[in-house]
Amino acid sequence: MFKSGIPVASIQGLLTGHERIGIEPNRTIGISDNLLNAHSIWLTANTTTPYVTGEIDVKNGPVVLNIGTPLLGLLDDAAFKFVGNIGVTNPEDQGTGGKYFIYTLATKASYLRVTFTLRPRVISTGYLLV
């Protein structure tokens, strides 16, 4: 039980940090101005990479991300479970950019007129890392 809670606690710590510095879900992102170190609250932080992070919240409906190019990123759900690649590592995008539609099972199919779709397994807050 303890091990399965570590990813959830890590994401919640990151999102709490986002809230404290004014990052708003679905509206703003954070850009690290320094490299991370051993004092970071990240579960698996790389100390040689600058990070751009944000919070995607689909509890109240779908979210569309308009992504430029080139971009290398991923989306995890609130339990740190992989949802999908964004940008050059997405097999459909391949670095061309476009609109990513993040939705739940409750979303109606009529919304699906965008370039790429990603669906988390749970209706919850997700974590964007680019």
Question: Containing domain of residue 57, as a range?
Answer: 2-129
CATH of the domain at 45: 2.60.40
Q: Residue ranges of the chain with pLDDT lower than 70? A: 1-2, 41, 107-130
Question: How many independent structural domains does the chain possess?
Answer: 1
CA atoms within 13 A on the CB side of 87: 12
Q: What are phi and psi of 53, to 5 degrees?
A: -135, 160
CB atoms within 10 A of CB 118: 20
The alpha-helical segments, DSSP class H, found in the chain are 2-20
The pLDDT score that the predictor gives to residue 94 is: 81
Are 55 and 127 in contact, with CB atoms under 8 Å apart?
A: yes
